[in-house]
Structure 1
């Protein structure tokens, strides 16, 4: 497979792998967000590195997503180079919250990259072979993050074990790619 496996076109093998992962999740083998997060409020603490903007609070209450909180998160996760906002997939926030909870994190996430407009993603792909031209960042389904006070290797290992999406460890850059696509790792 060429490029970064985090977001490349999924192809038949990855589609089957994702379907198998979904089937396993339905059987209880892989934890669903509700299993990890419980029925109470779901919260996040996020700071965007490039802008210094942050969000801290609940984005899920009383059995549903809080629309205002999701809009605030969408703004923090926007493409800051173009000031372009897209609705982020709430499953990404569930994944982030689940990882933080499993790691007993008391500090929040630093967001290196959230949503990427197609133009921004294309420019990054021209600069680095590690950036996929079909990135899930462009769909609002991926984020590159650091969890303050936690090692990236431990976070990536835990997230991969949870099988709730894609996990990429970028040890040299000190961040982990998390997405709510099919379960896979690199």
Structure 2
């Protein structure tokens, strides 16, 4: 291709009209160098000194998307159900936590106590791993000291200083997931204690030290 035709093709591709004579002459020199196999190199621009480099522009795509955390549970003694977003925008949702405290109260005397939100994180992870569609059935959430004393007198398997009295434990099961699977997933999390009660048909989870045991 003739040098002048190559220049005209390049100008047309860029949508440029007529250039001043000096600019056209410069383009002729560049194109000539290309045709002769001499590719001009770009001038080297020194990098800014360390500490003066421009800060990268933070884009939306660079930020991890944090999904809200849900929990679905039912108190089997009162038949109260609650499905709530308990964690959103990097914090626990006060209204949801308050409502959950009420559902998980000691049903024998209606005493309400703050439940450790870490338990909802445990339930949420179990729900995610088991792909359950059901509510967690809660046999025991908070226990008042009076209730715990009553239960210890009835059964040797109830701890006198149970974490239920501190709102740090739940006894649960799921209607669409085998008890053994719930136990296995809870153990895999290593977020607290896990008790397995196959005859009583529930799994105990708590936010205390990591440990495991079996009961009846």
Q: TM-score when scaled to structure 2?
A: 0.68
1:126 aligns with 2:153: yes
Gaps of at least 5 residues in structure 2 are 1-64
Question: Pick from 187, 190, 194: which aligns with 1:163?
Answer: 190
Residue 147 (structure 1) shift: 1.5
Partner of 1:65: 92
Q: How far apart, in 1, do the equivalents of 2:181 and 2:104 lie?
A: 23
Question: Pick from 64, 85, 108: which aligns with 1:81?
Answer: 108
Residue 39 (structure 1) shift: 2.6
Q: How far apart, in 1, do the equivalents of 2:96 and 2:86 lie?
A: 5
- 1:60-101 Cα distance to aligned partner (Å, 9 max, x none): 111110000000100011000010000100001111111111
Equivalence map 1:33-72=2 (5 Å): 39-72=66-99
Equivalence map 1:89-128=2 (5 Å): 89-128=116-155
Residue 119 (structure 1) shift: 0.5
Kindly tell me the number of residue pairs found equivalent between the two proteins: 149
- 1:4-45 Cα distance to aligned partner (Å, 9 max, x none): xxxxxxxxxxxxxxxxxxxxxxxxxxxxxxxxxx83101011
Q: How far apart, in 2, do the equivalents of 1:112 and 1:79 lie?
A: 11
Residue 50 (structure 1) shift: 0.3
Q: How far apart, in 2, do the equivalents of 1:93 and 1:39 lie?
A: 17
Residue 105 (structure 1) shift: 1.0
Partner of 1:142: 169
Instruction: Indicate the SS of the match to 1:59.
Output: strand
Residue 154 (structure 1) shift: 1.0
Gaps of at least 5 residues in structure 1 are 1-37
Q: How far apart, in 2, do the equivalents of 1:183 and 1:99 lie?
A: 16
Instruction: Indicate the SS of the match to 2:70.
Output: strand
1:173 aligns with 2:200: yes
Residue 169 (structure 1) shift: 0.7
Q: How far apart, in 1, do the equivalents of 2:132 and 2:102 lie?
A: 23
Q: TM-score when scaled to structure 1?
A: 0.78
Partner of 1:31: none
